[in-house]
Amino acid sequence: MNPARAVTALRGRASRLADGAHRLLLRGQAAHAWPWVAGLTFIWLAATTWVYPLLLPDEGRYVGVAWHMLESGEFLTPMLDGMPFFHKPPLFYWLTASSLALFGANAWAARLCSVLAATVLVTLFYRFLRVRANARVAGYATLILAVQPFLFGASHYANLDMLVGAIIGATVIAGATAVFRYEQAHPDRGAVLWMYAAAALGFLAKGLIGVVLPGGVLFFWLLGRRRFAAMGRLLWWPGILLFLVLSLPWMAVMQARHPGFFDYYIVHQHFQRFLESGFNNPHPFWFYVPVLLGLTLPWSVQLWRWCRRDGPVNPVFVPAAERFEQIDRPVLRGLMLSWLLVILVFFSIPTSKLVGYVIAALPPLAWFIAEVFEARAARDRTAAERSLAASAVIAVLICAVAVLAMVVAPQPTNKPLARVIGAQAGPGDRLAMLELYAYDVPMIAGRAAPSIVVSDWDDPGILRSDNWRRELYDAALFAPEAAREVLWRPAQWHAALCAPDRPVYWIMAYLKEAPGHPALEGLAPVASTRRMGLWRVAPDAALSVCGETPSSVPE
């Protein structure tokens, strides 16, 4: 995309978003404004997700697994390079595969799941606050949540974090709604069923976290209020049965197909990864505090007002016709405080920390910031909403600059090499990757056949790593026959290159490592990026690894 055109487009979006934010605040007085909230949020988040390629490794990995589901027709077992990939549950893959089927294999479709998850979270949060608090704070909190760099960035990233955060939020909202309806003597069983259905989706999105975190939020909130009867009310056996019916069949099928699945998926991926410190991204316990404050700028600067006690005040006047489901403000604050702290403390315990883990904490944080603006509006509504609008415009500009930076200075991508493979490789050609696995290449090149990955698969250091080699190594445990076809050691690779009936090989390797690969000695790449090279080796090409001196670049 042309950077000048991108600047113009983003400036226009910033102006329109500011106007849309003002309209949203006005429409917050209407009881049925949620379709407007959903529509504006979706447009705001989805409009620019196509302007830069998939980011590596995460987006390439997760979207690649979804694409393979679509290409192979195998929608139950997630596959990575032709082997079962059980690092994560299947919900994100199912949703993304559906998006790719509808809109094609492109970045916009790949990120649609995250965009829709963010839209649902914002909309549910608005409806919940509109009913339980009042129109003004609902409008403020919704605007703060939607027009926020952290949420914006998460919705532009095709991995599990935004989906999981949205489902955790939906589960908390459904559970709190059930509690409020029970306490107001309204029918609550429907909300309880929605809570368990959302928890089942959370389990299918990220495993036990989808149950433990919303359950912890509701437990500590009700414990603080001493609402033990409400706790018992949430433990309703039809809801538990619904959860089991929705969540267990996939696990049962995987265990039947792949013995050892349960131990790997539950014991290793949930408990060992949570407690061990040998994984990537080690950070101190307090890591998420500056992350939240920094990635929610400019909104987070308002929190000092809340801490000074001039933020949380009694709500502004609510018309009598709207009071029938309103909740005392301290009760809502307790819910939001439990929601925020449970997410922060839980993910602060393990040594390994990723930024996206705390997305579920964004709604309660938006609530506390909204209370600051509500308190200011009680004194001077015009000044408060001007400040709110100014913060929204700054937030939009931050998001616009971030997108522009991705366009002007894009992250490393294998897209140019994948396009060469897709255009020139024949059906019988093989793709080999030397000491790497390029997650994005199969989808972009349109090659569903597994790639050969050459590395020292006997290296004991693999078990202490948390990268592409460990992922492929673990996948091989569930499909040893398939692994023998794709996970090659250097000696096996060299023997295959020297076989008299070898096919055409397309070889990917890092340019700086190419001199260390005997198979590439004397050969020039047919295409390259800043970091990666692509070589084509024809069946009749002379190779030094076979005792022959290359006389020319293979055609």
Tokens 């020139």 -> residue: 424
Q: How many CA atoms does the CB half-sphere of 102 hold within 13 Å? A: 12
Tell me the mean pLDDT in the region 44-53.
93
On the question of pLDDT at 308 being above 50, the answer is: yes
How sure is the predictor about 540, in pLDDT bands with cuts at 50, 70 and 90? confident
**pLDDT tens, 101-135?**
999 999 999 999 999 999 999 999 999 999 888 88
Q: Which residue has the tokens 């196509």?
A: 50
pLDDT band at 339 (very low <50, low <70, confident <90, very high): very high
Please state, for a pLDDT cut of 90, what percent of the chain lies above it: 64
Contact 415, 53 (CB under 8 A): yes
Distance of CA 545 to the CA centre of its chain: 43
CA 14 vs. chain centroid, Å, equals: 25
Please tell me the predicted confidence (pLDDT) of residue 270. Answer: 67
**269 secondary structure, DSSP code:** I
Decide if pLDDT at 309 tops 70.
Answer: no
**ω into residue 57 within 30 of 0, thus cis?**
yes
Question: Where residue 196 falls among pLDDT bands split at 50, 70, 90?
Answer: very high
List, in order, residues 6 or more apart from 157 with CB less than 8 Å away. 55, 58, 59, 111, 114, 356
Q: What pLDDT score does 464 carry?
A: 82
Given a cut of 80, whether residue 20 has pLDDT beyond it is no
| Residue whose structure tokens are 């994948």 | 418
Q: Higher pLDDT residue, 323 or 72?
A: 72
| Interval 439-451: pLDDT, tens | 999 999 999 999 9
pLDDT over threshold 80, residue 60? yes
> What pLDDT is attached to residue 549?
60
Task: Give the whole-angstrom CA distance, residue 174 versus residue 134.
Answer: 18
pLDDT in tens, 356-368: 899 999 999 999 9
**321 pLDDT more than 50:** no
Q: Using 50, 70 and 90 to split pLDDT, how confident is the model at 328?
A: confident
442 is written with which tokens? Answer: 């199969």
- pLDDT of residue 281 exceeding 90, the answer is no
Residue 277 CB-half CA count within 13 A: 7
User: Is there a contact between 157 and 92 (Cβ–Cβ < 8 Å)?
Assistant: no
pLDDT band at 12 (very low <50, low <70, confident <90, very high): low
Q: Mean pLDDT over residues 132-145, rounded?
A: 91
Residues in the chain: 555
- Looking at every residue in the chain, the average pLDDT score rounds to 87
Contact present, 52 and 431 (Cβ < 8 Å): no
Through-space distance between the first and last CA atoms of the chain, rounded to whole angstroms: 32
How many CB atoms are located within 10 Å of the residue 284 CB? 9
393 vs 408: CA distance, rounded Å: 22
Q: Is the pLDDT of residue 316 over 50?
A: no
pTM for this model (two decimals): 0.89
Q: Give the CA distances from residue 115 to residues 37, 107, 108, 244, in Å, rounded to whole numbers and listed in that order.
A: 14, 12, 9, 28
Higher pLDDT, 79 or 24: 79
Token pair belonging to 289: 């505090």
As a whole number of angstroms, the distance between CA 335 and CA 318 comes to: 21
pLDDT at 319 > cutoff 80: no
d(CA 165, CA 323): 30
Residue with the two structure tokens 């398939």 = 482
pLDDT band at 310, cuts 50/70/90?
Answer: low
DSSP H helices, 329-440, are: 329-348, 362-379, 381-408, 415-424
**DSSP secondary structure code for residue 300 in this structure:** G
The arithmetic mean of pLDDT across residues 50-67, rounded, is 93
At residue 263 the predicted structure's pLDDT band, cuts being 50, 70 and 90, is confident
Full DSSP string of 465-514: --SHHHHHHHHHHT-HHHHHHHEE-HHHHHHHHT-TT---EEEEEEGGGG
Please provide residue 114's backbone torsions phi and psi, each rounded to the nearest 5 degrees.
-65, -40
Average pLDDT of the residues in 169-176 = 97
Instruction: List all residues 6 or more positions away from 43 whose beta carbon is below 8 Å from its beta carbon.
Output: none
Q: What is the pLDDT of residue 15?
A: 47
- Please report, as a single letter, which amino acid is at residue 414: N
Nearest to 404 by CA among 1, 20, 16: 1
Locate the domains of the chain by residue range.
Answer: 1-49+135-149+283-317+338-409, 415-546
pLDDT for 433 equals: 96
Check: CB of residue 536 under 8 Å from CB of residue 526: yes
Whether 61 shows a pLDDT value over 90: the answer reads yes
Structure tokens of 492? 């096996």
Label residues 197-212 b or e (16+ Cβ within 10 Å = b): bbbbbbbbbbbebbbb
pLDDT, mean of residues 334-347: 95
CA–CA separation, 338 and 217 (whole Å): 5
Question: Who has greater pLDDT, 485 or 315?
Answer: 485
Amino acid at position 162, single letter: M
DSSP string, 271-289: IIHHH-S-SS-B--GGGHH
Reply yes or no on whether the pLDDT at 320 is more than 80: no
Positive or negative torsion for Cα 482, 485, 487, 491: positive
d(C-alpha 122, C-alpha 367), whole Å = 12
What's the pLDDT score for residue 121? 97
Number of H helices, E strands in the chain: 25, 8
Angstrom distance (rounded) from CA 335 to CA 90:
30
Shortest CA distance to 338 belongs to which of 486, 181, 222? 222
Residue 268 has pLDDT above 90, yes or no: no
Residue 291 has pLDDT above 80, yes or no: yes
142, 37 Cβ separation under 8 angstroms? yes
User: What is the Cα–Cα distance from 506 to 429, expressed in whole angstroms?
Assistant: 7
Distances (CA, A) of 240 to 198, 205, 414, 486: 12, 18, 45, 42
Question: What is the pLDDT, as a whole number, of residue 276?
Answer: 60
Residue 312 has pLDDT above 80, yes or no: no
**Residues near 552 by Cβ (< 8 Å), separated by ≥ 6?**
none
Q: Check pLDDT > 50 for residue 381.
A: yes
Can you tell me which residue has the tokens 């055109």?
5
